[in-house]
Amino acid sequence: MIWFEIKKVENKILKNQLTEKDGFYYYLATGIFGTVYLFFHAIINFKHAPNSLSYLLGIIIAILGLIQVFKINNEIDGREFLKRYFALTWVIRVKLVIVTFIFFAIALNFFDVRKDNPVKNITYFIFALIIQILFYLLAIKSFNRIKNAETLQLNR
C-alpha cells in the first residue's frame, strides 16, 4: 500500500498495475480507519460533536463530491471506480489526518476541551467542513490528473 505519494497511486492506475487485491487492501484500510475514527469520536464525546446541520452539510458534500468523482471516472473509461477511489482517497485521508492532528494539537492550547465554548464549537465545525470539502477537491483533482494523462496517451 502507498500511504503518502498520490502520484505513485495515479501512475499505478495509469499503467493498470493496481490489482483487485490492492483495491481490497485500500478498501479494508479505509473501513478500519473509519471504524477507529468513530470509536475515538464516541469516546471523546466533545460537546461540539456534529449536530444536525453538520450532518446535513456533510451528507451534501459527500454526495456532490462522489458524484463529481464518479463522472470524471466515467470520462476516463468508466471502469474500476471503487479500486481507484479507495486507493487514491487512502493517500488523501492519511495526509488530512496528519493535518487534523496538528490542528487539534494547536487548538488544545487555546480551548479547554472540557468546557463548552461557542468559539471552540464554531472553529471545530468550520474546520470539519473545510477538511471534508478539501478531501473531495483533492480526490477530484487526482481523478482529473488521471483523466488528462489518459487523454494525452490516447492522442499520441
Q: How many CB atoms lie within 10 A of CB 68?
A: 16
Q: Return the domain boundaries, the chain.
A: 6-155
- Report the pLDDT value the prediction gives residue 51, as an integer from 0 to 100: 62
pLDDT at 10 over 70: yes
Euclidean distance between CA atoms 58 and 103, whole angstroms: 19
pLDDT at 85 over 70: yes
Q: How many angstroms from the chain centroid is the CA of residue 37?
A: 13
Mean pLDDT, the chain, whole residue set: 83
- Report the pLDDT value the prediction gives residue 58, as an integer from 0 to 100: 79
If you ran DSSP here, which 8-state letter would residue 16 be given?
T
User: pLDDT tens, 93-152?
Assistant: 999 999 988 988 887 777 666 666 777 777 778 888 899 999 999 999 999 999 999 887
